Amino acid sequence: MAGYGLSWAYLLPSLAVFALFVFWPLGRSIYLSLHGSDIFGGAGRFVGLDNYAELFTEPRFLKVLGTTALFTLFSVVPAILGALALVLLLEAQIRGAKVFRTIFAMPFAFSVATASVVFSIIYNPAIGIANGLLGQLGVDRVHWLTSPDLALLSVSATTVWMNLGYNVLVLSAGVGAIPQEVTEAARLDGASGLRLAGRITVPLLSPQLFFLVVVSTIHALQSFGQIHILTKGGPDEATTTLVYSIYENAFAYGSADFGLASAQAIVLMVVVLAMTAIQFGVLERKVHYR
C-alpha cells in the first residue's frame, strides 16, 4: 500500500500540470460547447447539442473539414518525402555534405511568423520576387495567394519549407544511428544506390519516418500562424482550416462565439485522436524497430 501512495506522490506533479492545462480546459471547452455565448464570450443559456447541429448542417463547415484534410496532405507528404530524398542524397558521400545538411536544416531556425512574413512578400502578386523571376522568363503574373485555386497550395508550400528543416534533422540523426556494419555488409553483397536506400536505409529509418508522420499530421491539423499571416483564411475561404475557423468564431472580427468555437475544438480533438489512432493501427505494424 505504501508503494501505491509513493507512486501517486511521484505522479502528482505531472498530474497537477495536466489537470491545470489539459483536463480543466478540456472540461471547460465541452461545457462551453453546450452553451450559447453572451457578448463577452461567456457561457450563455444551455443549448444542448445545438452548436454541433449548427456545425454539421452548415455546408461551410464541411468545406472547412475538406480544406483541413487537403492542407494536411499537401504539407505533410511532400515535407517528409522531400526530407528523405535530401538525406539520402547526403548519404552519397558528396563533398561538403555537412554544409548542405546545415543549410537544409536551416528552416527549422525560423519561427512560423518570420517565415510567413518573408513568404508573404515573396508571393506579392505585383512586387514579389516569385513573380519577378517568372516575369524574367516571360511568364505572366501568378496569383499565389489571391487565387482560390492556388492559395492552399502556396500556403502548403510555405509549410513544407518550414517543416523540411526539422524533418531533415530527425532523419539525419536516424541515418547516423544505422550501424556501419549493416550498410557495409549490404555493400559487400553488391547493393548500392537506390537498392541500398530502398532495402536497407529506408526500412531502418522507419521508426523516424513513423514519428514524423504522426507528429507532422498533428502539427498540420493545428497550423495557424502561416494561414493567419499569408491569407487570413481567404480568398473566398479557400484556406480556412478547422483551427482557423475556430479562431474566427472565437476571436476574430470582434466575434465572441465561444460556444460554436468550442464545439469545433472538440471536433478537432476527435479528428486528431482518430488520425493518430489510425496511424498507430495501420502504419506502426510496418515499422521496423531495432
Partner 1 sequence: MRRLALLAGAALLITSCGSGGGGDAGGAPAAGVLKDKVTIEFWHSMKGANAEAINQLVADFHAKFGSKVQIKPVFQGNYDETVAKYKAAVQQENTPALIQIYDIGTRFMIDSKQVVPMYKFFDVDKYSTADIEPNIASYYSVDGKMWSMPFNSSTPLLYINKEAFEKAGMDPNKPPKTLDEITKYAEKLTVKDASGTVKQYGFGSATYGWLLEQLLATDGQEYCDKGNGRQGLATKVQFDSASGAKVADWWHNLVSKGWAVNVGRKTDDGQAIFKSGTVAMHLESTSALRGYVDAAKQNGFTVVTAPYPKLSDGSKGGPIIGGASLWINGVGHSDEEKRAAWEFAKFSATPEEQAKWHVGTGYVAVNPKAYDQEVARTWAAQFPQFATAVDQLHSLPPSTASAGCILGVMPQARQASEEGLEQSILGSKPGAQAMKDAAASLSRAIEQYNQSVK
Query: What is the spatial distance between Cα 42 and Cα 257, in angstroms, rounded to a whole number?
Result: 9
In the bound state with partner 1, the residue whose beta carbon lies nearer, of 99 and 137, is 137
Which one of 99, 253, 281, 289 is in contact with partner 1 (CB under 8 A)? 253
Q: How far is the CB of 179 from partner 1 (least distance, A)?
A: 52
**Rule CB under 8 A: is residue 67 a binding residue for partner 1?**
no
Query: What is the spatial distance between Cα 275 and Cα 266, in angstroms, rounded to a whole number?
Result: 14
Which one of 30, 41, 91, 142 is in contact with partner 1 (CB under 8 A)? 41
**Rule CB under 8 A: is residue 225 a binding residue for partner 1?**
no
Nine cell digits for residue 29: 471547452
Q: 207 CB contacts (<8 Å, ≥6 apart)?
A: 174, 287, 288, 289
Which one of 65, 257, 261, 266 is in contact with partner 1 (CB under 8 A)? 257
Site string for partner 1, 43-62 (x = CB under 8 A): -x------------------
Q: How far is the CB of 29 from partner 1 (least distance, A)?
A: 15
In the bound state with partner 1, the residue whose beta carbon lies nearer, of 77 and 134, is 134
In the bound state with partner 1, the residue whose beta carbon lies nearer, of 164 and 230, is 230
